[in-house]
Amino acid sequence: MSNFNSLAVSELEALQTELKEKYEEYKSQNLNLDMSRGKPCTEQLDLSLEMLDTVTSNSNLKTADGVDTRNYGGLEGIPEAKEFFASILEVNPKNVIIGGNSSLTMMHDTVSRAMFHGVYGSEVPWIKFPTVKFLCPSPGYDRHFAICELFNIEMIVIDMLEDGPDMDQVEKLVGEDETIKGMWCVPKYSNPDGITYSNEVVERLANMKTKARDFRLFWDNAYAIHHLTDTPDELKNIFTACEEAGNPDRVIIFSSTSKVTFPGSGVAMMAASENNLDFFRTQMFVQTIGPDKINQLRHVKFFKNTDNLKAHMEKHASIIKPKFDRVLQLLSEELGDKGIASWKKPNGGYFISLNTLEGCAKKTVQLAGEAGVKLTGAGATYPYGKDPKDRNIRLAPTFPSLEELSKAIEIFCLCVQIVSVEKLLA
């Protein structure tokens, strides 16, 4: 099949009839396929099942420094968890706080506290400004945008380029506007593009001049160790880059084991300068007497060392890589040479991000939904749910079985074609 853009009207019309017939055939099967959220599949969850046995009624539940994990205390996490997870965050354990079960909660709370109390070095709480703005590289993670919406933080879309956010845009904006207080970054295998920020982008983020002296990078390294290949992307260390740039307090790093062990029952973590952490500690002290230390201990006992963690992540990859490969293969077979869609092959993370022709994403997602294939809502990857070009669709291949996934992608590709033909005929 040739490029749709070079087909005559009569050819497009014939194609339309053919595609619609196929679509009706699928529709009559009353399918119910869900690839809307990036969730691990059951086989992946099974990889961590033994972790639940590492803490039993007769185990030693004391930490390395003798604290009973069953009791209150340990505001910033148990020492062995700080030590262990510092390796994921690539910082010194003294710069780490191990929290509860969700990094998103830590991000939400950090933004919330900044609004009410500012951050270390703020002259006034952020909320005292008539508007507070965040830079949002997009497409991006919908939940980050939801946090901004909740706190009435104005979001500014920053284009994602091949090696991360468009730094010319970023530098210009932060250099001029003191109400830009933050920026969301998913620096490795970004959600949804799968892009890893280049060294240059990391350095420019660390070094750029910001009008707001209390500007913060919200560095959500959710996919730090979630590789799909033997030659993983390398991400420059933002923490040391900021220190070297003389901006040690600029970055707050987040991560979790949600897609390492159990989403919802994993361990969340953050890292920042000692100034930042001291500031947070005084507020956290009021919020909680301490996190779930038993879960932290369970994680450390299960993994024991970083080699085991690496081997564990390789098992995840061996389960989900065939799914990514299948999606990429089908996209290439069904859409490859038609000039109606483009996508990236990620080296890690949880998503494949596809761009349709402009103005086609919403209709495609709707059509797929009517044929029983649930996708992430079009627009969700942009602030306020508004994709200015209505073209980005996030595919989440991990949860469905290979068989379900194949069918879902076949239908999806059919829908992309139908909507594209419609646009070309209009």
- Is residue 141 a contact residue for ligand PLP (CB under 6 A)? yes
| Dihedral in degrees, nearest 10, Cα atoms 324, 143, 234, 309 | -70
Q: How far is the CB of 383 from ligand PLP (least distance, A)?
A: 15
- Is residue 217 a contact residue for ligand PLP (CB under 6 A)? no
Q: How far is the CB of 359 from ligand PLP (least distance, A)?
A: 27
| Site residues (CB under 6 A) for ligand PLP, limited to 362-421 | none
> Of the ranges 99-107, 131-139, 198-206, 357-365, which one interacts with ligand PLP (CB under 6 A)?
99-107
Q: How far is the CB of 408 from ligand PLP (least distance, A)?
A: 19
SS3 for 125-148, per residue? CHHHCCCCEEEEEECCCHHHHHHH
- Rg from Cα positions in the chain: 23
Give the Cα separation of 241 and 187 in Å (integer): 14
| Site residues (CB under 6 A) for ligand PLP, limited to 268-297 | 268
8 Å CB contact between 297 and 59: no
- Is residue 77 a contact residue for ligand PLP (CB under 6 A)? no
- For 166-207, give the DSSP string: -HHHHHHHHHH-TTEEEEEE--SS-TTT-----HHHHHHHHH
Q: Which is nearer to ligand PLP, 218 or 279 (CB)?
A: 218
Q: Which is nearer to ligand PLP, 38 or 291 (CB)?
A: 38
8 Å CB contact between 309 and 303: yes
Give the Cα separation of 187 and 197 in Å (integer): 5
Q: Which is nearer to ligand PLP, 247 or 392 (CB)?
A: 392
Q: How far is the CB of 267 from ligand PLP (least distance, A)?
A: 9
Q: How far is the CB of 166 from ligand PLP (least distance, A)?
A: 19
| Dihedral in degrees, nearest 10, Cα atoms 394, 400, 404, 409 | 10
Q: Among residues 281, 306, 245, which one has the least CA distance to residue 86?
A: 306
Q: Which is nearer to ligand PLP, 141 or 215 (CB)?
A: 141
Q: How far is the CB of 191 from ligand PLP (least distance, A)?
A: 4
Q: Which is nearer to ligand PLP, 95 or 190 (CB)?
A: 190
- Is residue 222 a contact residue for ligand PLP (CB under 6 A)? yes
Q: Among residues 220, 222, 223, 185, which one has the least CA distance to residue 204?
A: 185
> Of the ranges 4-12, 101-109, 209-217, 275-283, which one interacts with ligand PLP (CB under 6 A)?
101-109
Q: How far is the CB of 187 from ligand PLP (least distance, A)?
A: 10
Q: Which is nearer to ligand PLP, 38 or 346 (CB)?
A: 38
Q: Among residues 337, 419, 341, which one has the least CA distance to residue 19?
A: 419
Burial of 268 by CB count in 10 Å (0-12 exposed, 13-18 middle, 19+ buried)? buried
Sheet with 341-343, side-by-side order of all strands: 341-343, 352-356, 392-395
Q: How far is the CB of 283 from ligand PLP (least distance, A)?
A: 20
| Site residues (CB under 6 A) for ligand PLP, limited to 23-52 | 38
Q: Which is nearer to ligand PLP, 23 or 145 (CB)?
A: 145
| Residue found by looking up tokens 């809502």 in the block | 377
* 291 prior amide bond cis, ω within 30: no
Binding mask 230-269 for ligand PLP (x = CB under 6 A): --------------------------x-x----x----x-
User: Could you say which of 95, 102, 110, 381 contacts ligand PLP (CB under 6 A)?
Assistant: 102
Q: How far is the CB of 263 from ligand PLP (least distance, A)?
A: 5
- Is residue 191 a contact residue for ligand PLP (CB under 6 A)? yes
Q: Which is nearer to ligand PLP, 96 or 411 (CB)?
A: 96
Q: How far is the CB of 141 from ligand PLP (least distance, A)?
A: 4
Helix-helix angle 79-89:306-335, to 10 degrees: 40
8 Å CB contact between 302 and 48: yes
Interaction site with ligand PLP (CB under 6 A) = 38, 102-104, 141, 186, 191, 220, 222, 256, 258, 263, 268
